[in-house]
Amino acid sequence: MPESEAPLLLHEYLRQSARRRAGSPAIVEEGRITSFDELLKNATSVAATLLARGLEKGDRVALVLSKSTEAITSLFATLLGGAVYVPLPPRWPAARVESSLRDCSPRFAIVEPDGETDPQPVLLDLQAGARIRWREALATPETPLATPAIQPEDPALILFTSGSTGRPKGVMLSHRAVGTFVKWSAQEFQVRPDDRLACPSPLSFDLSTFDIFNMALCGATCVIVPEQIVWMPRFLAQFARDQRITAWYSVPSILAGMLNEGSFGRGACPDLRLILFAGEVFSSRNLARLQAAVPHAVCCNLYGPTETNVVAWCRLPEDFDPSGPVPIGGPCPYAQLLLDPATVEAQDGRQIGELLVGGESLMNGYWNRPEETERAFVQVSGGDAAGGRFYRTGDRVSQDSRGEYTFVGRLDRQVKRRGFRIELGEIEAALGRHPGVQEAAVISSADQERGTIITALVRSRPQNVLSPVEMKTHCAQFLPSYMMPDQIVFIEVMPKGSRGKIDYAALREWHAG
C-alpha cells in the first residue's frame, strides 16, 4: 500500500509490515535481530496481558525502560491495546520520574526485566498489580486480540518536556499528528524496505518517532544505537559503517561530535544516503564540514517543537554557503506557518516575528494542564489552518522574500541543548530546593563548538558555605544530565530591576565581563 494511503493509526503500520515482510528484520540491537512477525507477536502478547488486567482505551502506560527492543515492543503493545505510551527513561533522576508518573497517572508501568533500574519509591502510588516487569508482561499466551476502537485524533503518546514552573509537562500527540509526519517523511525521503534507520534518540524524544514508525510503515530496519555510545562520538561513525546505516536522524550536537572527533571523514560511511538533523541550531561551519565528509548523502534541516513535530524543512544544496545561517526552510505540506502580526517588524528586507504553526501535526494539548494548553494556542482570523488555530512556538524567526524561514532566537528563557528543550526556570527551581540557597539565577550563552553553555549564579544564605560540587550533586537529584549547569558561580548580591525582579541582562553582562 502506498504510504499516502496508509491508515493514520500507528499500530496498523506494524500489522501491515508483519503481513508483507514477516521474516524481515524490524529491529537490530547489538547483534540481536527481531523480525516483523516476531515483533507483532510479542507486542500482541504484551497487549493481551495489559487488557486482561483491565487496560482500557485512553489509559496511560508508563514505559520505565531503557531504549531497547523490549521498550519498542511495549510501545506497540500499548498502542495495540488502545492506550497511550509514556516513555520515562530510568536514567532520569528518580524525582523527575516520580513527578511525571504522578502527573500522567498511568494504569500500568512496565519496568526493566532485571529490576536493577526499577524505581521503587516512585511507583508506590500506582494501584496494586500496576507495576509489570517485561518478562511477566510477555508471558501471556498468544490470543486473538480485540483492539479497542481508536480514532486518529485519539492520543498515542505523551512526551514530558522541561517546564518553566520547575515541573515537567506532558505533550499529548495523537495518532494523526505523528502519522502525518511519518507518512510525509516516508514519501519525501523515499524510505525503502532495504533502508537501515539508525535510532540514536531516546523514546522520550520526538525524533525517535521517525526511526520507529518509518520502520513500521515502510518495512525498513530500525537499528538501535546503544545508549552508552550515543554521546561517545568517536564510536558512532564506526557503528554507522559496521551496521550499514543508510539514514541518520539526530540532533546536530551528535553530528558535530562525530566531526570533531575525526571519525566522520570522507568515505567513513559509504552506505549513508540521508542525514537529517533537528532540535537545535546547526552551525554553518559544521554543516559545510559534514557535507564535505559525506558528499554522497543528502542533508536536510528539520524544524518543529515537540508540540508540533516537524513542520518546516530545508534540503541543503551541495554548494551551501557557510557564511550565513542554516535556514529552517519552508512548511511541510501538512503545516501552515505564519508570523504573528502583533510581533512582526521589518529588518534588512526581511520580516521578523514569532512563528505560529497550524495544521494536522499539532498536539492535542498538555496533559492535565488546560490553562497552559489554552495559552499555547491563538486563533488567527483568516488563517488557513483548521479553525484558524495556531500554536505559539515562542521562536523568533525571519522570513525572506521567497517565504523561507530562518531561526533568530527565543522570545522567552527557553534554550536547547542536545536537542532537548530546557526551561532555565526549571534549573532555578531545582537549585532553590537546596536549604542553603537564598536565590539562584540561570543564564545561557552560545559557543560555536560546545553549543549552549548554562551558568548558574547562586547566592547562599548567611553562614552557609556551598561548593559547586555540592550544588551539582544536589541538582542531579532533580535534573537529567542534559539540564545540569556547566558552571556554578557564587555571588554576594543578585542584581534586581526596579520591580524587584532578577535583572538577567545585568547578570549576563557581569558574567561576560
CATH label of the domain that carries residue 504: 3.30.300.30
Region of 268 on the Ramachandran plot (φ > 0 left; ψ -120 to 50 alpha; else beta): alpha
Are both 460 and 397 inside the same structural domain?
no
Are both 238 and 199 inside the same structural domain?
no
Q: What residues contact residue 380 under an 8 Å CB cut-off, 6+ apart?
A: 338, 356, 358, 388, 390
Can you give the pLDDT at residue 2? Answer: 43
- The more confident residue out of 452 and 267 is 452
42 DSSP 8-state letter:
H
Give the dihedral sign, CA 35/36/41/45.
positive
Are both 431 and 330 inside the same structural domain?
no
Which residue(s) pair with 234 in the sheet? Answer: none
Are both 98 and 219 inside the same structural domain?
yes
Long-range (24+ apart) CB contacts under 8 A made by 464-471 are 464/436, 466/434, 466/436, 466/437, 466/490, 471/431, 471/434, 471/437
Are both 210 and 239 inside the same structural domain?
no
Q: In whole angstroms, what is the distance from residue 156 CA to residue 170 CA?
A: 12
Residue 125's nearest CA partner among 105, 110, 111 is 105
Q: Is residue 434 pLDDT above 50, yes or no?
A: yes
In this structure, of 33-42, 128-137, 236-245, 265-274, the range with the lowest mean pLDDT score is 128-137
Can you give the pLDDT at residue 319? Answer: 85
Can you give the pLDDT at residue 187? Answer: 97
- The more confident residue out of 146 and 127 is 146
Are both 263 and 208 inside the same structural domain?
no
Q: Please state the three-class secondary structure of 275-326 as a single string.
A: EEECCCCCCHHHHHHHHHHCCCCEEEEEECCCCCCCCEEEECCCCCCCCCCC
| Backbone torsions φ then ψ of 305, nearest 5 degrees | -65, 165
What confidence category does residue 168 fall into, taking pLDDT thresholds of 50, 70 and 90? confident
Can you give the pLDDT at residue 308? Answer: 96
Alpha-carbon dihedral 274, 279, 284, 290, rounded to 10 degrees? -30
Residue 213's nearest CA partner among 186, 245, 250, 244 is 186
Q: Is residue 16 pLDDT above 70, yes or no?
A: yes
pTM reported for the whole predicted model: 0.85
Can you give the pLDDT at residue 253? Answer: 86
Region of 343 on the Ramachandran plot (φ > 0 left; ψ -120 to 50 alpha; else beta): alpha
Can you give the pLDDT at residue 121? Answer: 47
Q: In whole angstroms, what is the distance from residue 468 CA to residue 489 CA?
A: 8
Residue 83's nearest CA partner among 113, 63, 111 is 63
Are both 22 and 141 inside the same structural domain?
yes
Q: Is residue 117 pLDDT above 60, yes or no?
A: no
Are both 266 and 219 inside the same structural domain?
no
Q: In whole angstroms, what is the distance from residue 296 CA to residue 442 CA?
A: 42
**CB-CB neighbours of 151 under 10 Å:** 11
Q: What is the grid cell recorded at 483? A: 539540564
Percent of the chain with pLDDT over 90: 49
In this structure, of 6-10, 119-123, 399-403, the range with the lowest mean pLDDT score is 119-123
Radius of gyration of the chain (CA): 23
Count of domains for the chain: 3
24 DSSP 8-state letter:
S
Q: Is residue 346 pLDDT above 80, yes or no?
A: yes
- Of 412, 438, 460, the residue that ends a domain is 412
The letter for the amino acid at 169 is K
Q: In whole angstroms, what is the distance from residue 250 CA to residue 207 CA?
A: 7
Are both 220 and 236 inside the same structural domain?
no
DSSP 3-state assignment of 413? coil
Are both 212 and 173 inside the same structural domain?
yes
Are both 262 and 338 inside the same structural domain?
yes
- Of 208, 225, 242, the residue that ends a domain is 225
- Structural domain of 34: 3-225
Q: How many residues does this entry show for the chain?
A: 513
- Please report, for the domain that includes residue 204, its CATH number: 3.40.50.12780
Can you give the pLDDT at residue 166? Answer: 62
Q: Is residue 123 pLDDT above 70, yes or no?
A: no
What confidence category does residue 321 fall into, taking pLDDT thresholds of 50, 70 and 90? confident
Q: 26 near 40, Cβ under 8 Å? A: no
502 DSSP 8-state letter:
B
Q: Is residue 197 pLDDT above 90, yes or no?
A: yes
Are both 35 and 124 inside the same structural domain?
yes
Q: What is the grid cell recorded at 279? A: 532540535
Q: 246 near 272, Cβ under 8 Å? A: yes
- Of 225, 260, 292, the residue that ends a domain is 225
Task: Report the number of secondary-structure helices (H) and strands (E) in the chain.
Answer: 15, 27
What confidence category does residue 493 fall into, taking pLDDT thresholds of 50, 70 and 90? confident
